[in-house]
A and B are shown apart, each in its own frame.
Chain A
Amino acid sequence: MPVQSPPAYKPPTTLRLQTALQLLAQSGHMLPADAPQGSLPWLQAVIDGLCTLSSRDVLTGLSNRRQFELAIAREIDRVARAGEPALVLMADIDHFKRVNDTHGHAAGDEVIRAVAQSLQDCVRPMDTVARFGGEEFAIILPNCPPAFGHTVAERIRTKVQRRPVTVAPGIEVAITISIGGAFAPQWVRSSAPLWIERADQQLYRAKAEGRNRACLEQPTVLQVSPEEKGLLFGTSQFQDFE
């Protein structure tokens, strides 16, 4: 039987693109100059641009909440299948309300932007840094062994602490953050709300213990080591039954 080729793409005669193009222009998103307007590559570029827009946080340029939900769902799938350790960190700017109340909301925005930049500077390209809401951020760190978790969280915390934010000409504000973290349970399919909740609990702990600190949930060791298996199966007593 001859293989049927898919029907050729026929663009609809009219598309309402005005709002989309305005949004892209406003955000400084460039469309390819070499693709004629209305052509398929041009349309693709419009769609790609809209996707990027809808996955980014306007203020910080970090992943937004929607993108974060996608990323964490993907990570849960990966962890369940591969059993790799993965860490979620929740970070919250300490006494953020004071900044807003003292210096105004524009200063608050500046602080959020600066902290976002610090977070982004501390992680690997594969990590997802997201603005979770208000002055709270979430970071997904795939393939992060438990031994490194605290080091990463501390690195982020000190980075923010060492970078005072200029909120107005001549006015610098010292900023600290509190961080809570939880590892995904290995070879167990967790859920995003539960994982985030566990990290959040550690964040509350960090706040309660005085802020400007990182608290990580002690991960449960679920893996059965070769030594344990050796002892479980290796002795002569058991071999009688093999």
Chain B
Amino acid sequence: MTTPNTIAARARITAVTSGKGGVGKTFMAANLAAALTRRGERVLVLDADLGLANLDVVLNLHPKITLHDVFTGKAELEDAILPAPGGFSVLLAGSGLVEYSRLTPEVREQLLSVIDKVAPRFDRILLDTGAGISDVVLYAVSLASEVMVVATPEPTSLTDAYATIKVLAGQQHRRVIKLVVNQVSRLGEGRVIRGQLQQVVDRYVSNGTDTPLKLELLGEVPTDTAVRDAVQRRQLLLETLPGSAAAKAVGAIADKLIA
């Protein structure tokens, strides 16, 4: 695995990953990008879910040019960078990328070269990775200087988040992993979950190593009907219902990410 920070870049590269699918990873990446944009950052969301991209669905975009076209040499990278509703930019994978769900040396190089080219023009790149811990996901995460794991309080999500954290600690020697707990049913649940995960990490992952792994809680997002409404309308929560509890929570996460 490539060590983090191998890219000479201006942009801070943050990978958003989850282990389990359907926990709101893409929702988080898109709305966080909007929140960071409002706070003055130039943000690019790169759909690194090469096998099963759905950032375009979340943002209701119908791109004519995607990463697929760039990878196959049919289009220039410039033309694939699209403006998104929240004022940030996106690089969409495109559904034609199914063949890239397997990590070949070419995919590795292409992804690396794309990030290298865009990095100087943004303050932050959010890598929206696929679910699971496939080669592609692990590789995409390895390109990021920081990792954010999105989990819900659901046991399967927590187990998968833990498995992901464990792999990242082992393969990429991460010392800090940021945690976002989505869909909490009460205030403080995120803190409890972070504590639980940290406890297992201390016992089974950091134990015996000289590089203990610290889980840092970026924030929690409450279960909120506003989220469902926004997702169904295929709009950004921060655009349609900025006053909702979930939108405010995402804003707080952006604040903490910048700090």
Contact = CB atoms under 8 A, between A and B. Distances in A.
Nearest to A192: B102
B139 to A, nearest CB: 10
A101 interface: no
Interface string A220-231: 111111011101
8 contacts: A191-B102, A224-B159, A225-B204, A231-B203, A232-B158, A238-B192, A238-B193, A241-B186
Given A228-B200, A231-B199, 8 more contacts: A187-B132, A188-B133, A194-B104, A194-B135, A227-B204, A228-B204, A233-B196, A238-B192
- Say whether chain A's binding surface is mostly helix, strand, loop, or mixed: loop
Interface of B: 101-105, 132-135, 153, 155, 158-159, 162-163, 166-167, 170-171, 185-186, 189, 192-193, 195-197, 199-200, 203-204
Contacts of A232: 158-159, 162, 196-197, 200
A237 B192 contact: yes
A190 interface: yes
Contacts of B171: 220
Contacts, number: 72
- Say whether chain B's binding surface is mostly helix, strand, loop, or mixed: helix
Given A185-B135, A188-B132, A241-B192, A233 B102 contact: no
A235 interface: yes
B135 A188 contact: yes
Contact of A188 (B134, B153, B196): B134
A74 interface: no
B170 A241 contact: no
Contacts of A188: 132-135
A26 B170 CA distance: 54
Contacts of A155: none
Interface string A148-183: 000000000000000000000000000000000000
A187 B105 CA distance: 21
Contacts of B103: 191, 194
A210 to B, nearest CB: 26
A229 B189 CA distance: 18
Interface residues of A, number: 26
A12 interface: no
B103 to A, nearest CB: 6
A241 B192 CA distance: 9
A193 B135 CA distance: 12
A235 B162 contact: no
Nearest to B188: A241
Nearest to B170: A220
Interface in A202-236: 220-225, 227-229, 231-233, 235
A241 B170 CA distance: 30
Given A237-B192, A241-B186, A231 B200 contact: yes
Contacts of B101: 189
Nearest to B203: A231
Contacts of B104: 191, 193-194
Contacts of B189: 241
Nearest to A238: B196
A222 B167 contact: yes
Query: Which 3 pairs across A and B sit closest by C-beta, in order of nearness?
Result: A191-B102, A231-B200, A232-B200
Contacts of B132: 187-188
Contacts of B135: 185, 188, 190-191, 194
Contacts of B197: 232
A86 to B, nearest CB: 16
A222 B166 contact: yes
Contact of B170 (A187, A190, A221): A221
Contacts of A197: 105
A237 B195 contact: yes
A156 B231 CA distance: 57
Given A220-B167, A221-B170, A237-B195, A228 B162 contact: yes
A4 B195 CA distance: 65
B133 A222 contact: yes
Contacts of A228: 162, 200, 203-204
A229 B133 CA distance: 19
Contact of B159 (A189, A229, A237): A229
